[in-house]
């Protein structure tokens, strides 16, 4: 057992008994939404996983401990602290642990801690990717490297549409990461079901998702699998509206000199403002949708 890892009793019991567990990230709590919607959404996502027959494991770093499974009190703590909690990627883990500090896990660090705990399925909103203009800025999310290394299935609503989706797919292909469309041949783009880019394979059932990932694990192939699950039709935003808001947000970020890990939170907040809050509602619904699919897939796996 890794001495820095703390697995909650509920999650540990489920793992010991071979019952399905689904990992959840904590950046969406501290950096993704305002309080108290962040806490309410986190608890709703956990309940959705329970309702579909699996055990939720919200992952975070609290007091220098890698937590696989947070209590409602710990989720409340992260939600209230908000952006005072460090947004923790792979590079941040050694210092946060040494300082016994708190950290909200991104896709990258949630995958790392889930794999340490023996959790194979992870539900999130959207992954990071290659940012627009990366050919000059080299701004590429660590999520893509982690998908290439760590054996966890990530179920999301596609890459955030603030990214360069074409280059993100090219990068994942280079790294050997299978990109699956659940019930679709088109890569969903977070707030909207349509991007114009094709995924590697379409899969229509949790059983087949589990079978494909099991085969990957049993062959000993390195890395994870990316499952892109389109936002439900009734919450999908028209591509032209969301793209107009994203273009405006990116222009403002450039003008203000915002870069690095501050970019995504700034752009998402700006898009929410420009869409009159519709993007926040869409964000909540797509996370719940991904949690349902993750629970059903974990049961099959």
| Angle formed by the axes of helices 239-256 and 263-274, nearest 10° | 130
Q: Is 135 a catalytic residue?
A: no
CA–CA separation, 290 and 71 (whole Å): 21
CA–CA separation, 29 and 204 (whole Å): 30
Cβ neighbours, 10 Å, residue 157:
30
Q: Which residues contact 224 (CB under 8 A, 6 or more apart)?
A: 111, 146, 147, 148, 150, 151, 152, 153, 154, 177
Q: Which residues contact 62 (CB under 8 A, 6 or more apart)?
A: 70, 74, 77, 78, 102
The radius of gyration computed from the CA coordinates of the chain, to the nearest angstrom, equals 18
Q: Is 261 a catalytic residue?
A: no
Q: Which of 25, 46, 74, 76 is catalytic?
A: 25
Q: 182 with 229: CB under 8 angstroms?
A: yes
Q: Which of 46, 67, 74, 160 is catalytic?
A: 160
User: Exposed, middle or buried by CB within 10 Å (0-12, 13-18, 19+), for 230?
Assistant: buried
Q: 159 with 189: CB under 8 angstroms?
A: yes
Alpha carbon 149 to its chain's center: 16
Residues known to be catalytic:
25, 160
């Amino acid at each position: 057992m890794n001495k820095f890892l703390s697995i909650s009793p509920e999650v540990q019991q489920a793992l010991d008994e071979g019952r399905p567990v689904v990992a959840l990230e904590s950046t969406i709590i501290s950096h993704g939404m305002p309080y108290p919607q962040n806490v309410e959404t986190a608890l709703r996502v956990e309940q959705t996983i329970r309702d579909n027959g699996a055990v939720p494991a919200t992952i975070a770093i609290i007091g220098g401990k890698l937590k696989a499974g947070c209590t409602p009190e710990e989720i409340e703590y992260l939600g209230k602290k908000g952006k005072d909690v460090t947004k923790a990627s792979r590079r941040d883990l050694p210092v946060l642990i040494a300082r016994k500090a708190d950290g909200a896990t991104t896709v990258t660090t949630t995958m790392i801690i889930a794999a340490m705990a023996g959790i194979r399925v992870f539900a999130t909103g959207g992954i990071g990717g290659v940012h627009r203009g990366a050919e000059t800025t080299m701004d590429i999310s660590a999520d893509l490297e982690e998908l290439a290394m760590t054996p966890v299935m990530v179920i999301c609503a596609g890459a955030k549409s603030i990214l360069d989706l074409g280059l993100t797919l090219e990068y994942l292909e280079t790294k050997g990461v299978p990109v699956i469309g659940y019930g679709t041949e088109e890569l969903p783009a977070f707030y909207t079901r349509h991007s114009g880019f094709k995924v590697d394979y379409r899969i229509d059932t949790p059983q087949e998702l589990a079978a494909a990932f099991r085969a990957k694990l049993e062959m000993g192939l390195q890395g994870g699998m990316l499952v892109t699950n389109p936002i439900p039709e009734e919450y999908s935003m028209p591509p032209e509206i969301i793209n107009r808001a994203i273009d405006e947000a990116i222009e403002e970020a450039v003008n203000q000199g915002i870069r690095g890990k501050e970019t995504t939170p700034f752009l998402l907040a700006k898009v929410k403002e420009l869409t009159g809050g519709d993007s926040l509602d869409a964000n909540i619904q797509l996370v719940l949708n991904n949690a349902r699919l993750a629970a059903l897939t974990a049961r099959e796996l």
